[in-house]
Amino acid sequence: MIKQVGIVGAGQMGGGIAQVCAVSGFKVVLHDISADRVEAALHLVGDNLDRQIAKNRIDASLREEALARIHTGLSLGDLADCDLVIEAATEDETLKTKIFKDISPLLKPEALLASNTSSISITRLAAATDRPEKFMGVHFMNPVPVMQLVELIRGIATDDATFEVVQQFAVSLNKTTAIAEDFPAFIVNRILMPMINEAIYTLYEGVGNVEAIDTAMRLGANHPMGPLTLADFIGLDTCLAIMQVLYDGLADSKYRPCPLLVKYVEAGWLGRKTGRGFYDYRREDSPVPTR
Ligand SMILES: CC(=O)CC(=O)SCCNC(=O)CCNC(=O)[C@H](O)C(C)(C)COP(=O)(O)OP(=O)(O)OC[C@H]1O[C@@H](n2cnc3c(N)ncnc32)[C@H](O)[C@@H]1OP(=O)(O)O
Ligand SMILES: NC(=O)C1=CN([C@@H]2O[C@H](COP(=O)(O)OP(=O)(O)OC[C@H]3O[C@@H](n4cnc5c(N)ncnc54)[C@H](OP(=O)(O)O)[C@@H]3O)[C@@H](O)[C@H]2O)C=CC1
């Protein structure tokens, strides 16, 4: 029975997962190596809840109740009492593996572990823990409070009891689940990320500029965001990391990351989170295309 959820990584996904868990009545411990990140995540949760109150979607008292359920911790030891720990740190296998190695001995033996990874092998991550049978992928979509889907991925060792508890947990957050096999980038990103990468190739080859590509896909294919806006929203570092996992894991040149994506990441232009990507967000009014 899950009562307390630990979250490792207080970025855009960790903060969103904390929000939906707290609103659904779970106690949350939100951990990051950076105190600033945790503080910023709490502010964002508060702002999101304010927006919902303003639209009469939730009662003002729920905001305070939800925020009071979120505790923060700068040490992995603060997650020791959690029944489920969801890792939502940067999309980097070495980093995630270290987190799982470090946290495993600190948890209760019956605690479940999950990763919100967008692409990395659940079986390999599970192997870094002391409990591969109690480990699985639970892949939320961005923005977490809005998107309906949670992708569930079993590693080779995940047992039925773990899968059922985590699936029930996702349903209790009012999410709809889809089950994916443990192959690079699972379902959503196996399909979505090559489309985004192709949009970047379309820009790289001069077929269209940023505005034309986004307008074409928004109005020509009814996508809520153009692919370059979406890439900036996801984070260009995350997009590149996912393409690299697809390229390495499936050994097919059709997944090669566009050199322009690599260049933006090398420049530190990671999209919204750094203020600049395919658009420059640093001006108050509207984002300005960078190409
Ligand atoms: C990379 C991975 O591993 C997997 C992924 O997540 S891939 C990314 C998946 N996500 C997408 O594809 C998102 C595509 N974009 C969209 O669906 C829409 O643009 C959007 C839902 C983000 C915004 O929709 P919109 O109609 O343009 O904006 P807006 O009307 O202002 O917002 C709709 C709702 O979302 C909320 N919202 C918007 N952005 C938000 C955010 N960043 N955080 C929380 N809530 C947000 C708004 O408050 C609003 O809520 P209400 O319905 O309660 O009023
Ligand atoms: N962005 C998206 O649209 C989606 C992302 N995901 C996945 O969710 C995960 C997080 O992505 P996202 O939130 O966008 O990324 P962010 O860059 O917004 O956040 C990652 C957070 O993890 C922190 N972090 C880094 N190392 C550690 C560590 N050792 N221990 C604790 N925290 C750490 C980072 O801190 P610092 O910045 O200081 O390094 C940062 O606060 C990734 O696996 C990603 O693939 C899944 C679905 C959608």
pLDDT 10s digits, 118-174: 999 999 999 999 999 999 999 999 999 999 999 999 999 999 999 999 999 999 999
Q: What is the mean pLDDT of residues 246-272?
A: 98
Helices (H), 152-234: 160-172, 188-204, 210-220, 227-234
Q: Is 139 a catalytic residue?
A: yes
| pLDDT for 273 | 95
Q: Is the pLDDT of residue 284 over 80?
A: no
Among 35, 21, 121, smallest CA distance to 73 is for 35
pLDDT in tens, 75-104: 999 999 999 999 999 999 999 999 999 999
| Catalytic site includes residue 164 | no
118 is catalytic: yes
Ligand 1 pocket, mutate which of 58, 146, 190, 230 (most atoms under 8 A from CB): 146
Domains in the chain, start-ordered, CATH in brackets? 4-181 (3.40.50.720), 190-289 (1.10.1040.10)
Separation of first and last alpha carbons in the chain? 51
HSE at residue 148, side-chain half, CA atoms within 13 A, is: 2
Say whether 9 counts as a known binding-site residue: yes
Residues found in the chain:
291
Find out whether the beta carbon of 197 lies less than 6 Å from any atom of ligand 2.
no
**For the chain, how are helix, strand and coil distributed in percent, rounded to 5?**
50, 15, 35
* Annotated binding residue 13: yes
CA–CA distance, 194 with 243 (Å, rounded to integer): 7
Residue reference for tokens 């379902």: 187
Pocket test for ligand 2, best of 8, 13, 243 (most atoms within 8 A of CB): 13
Beta-sheet strand order (sheet of 149-154): 70-73, 27-31, 4-8, 84-87, 112-115, 135-140, 149-154, 176-180
Confidence tier at 57 by pLDDT (50, 70, 90): confident
The pLDDT value recorded for residue 3 is: 98
Residue 285's pLDDT band (boundaries 50, 70, 90)? Answer: confident
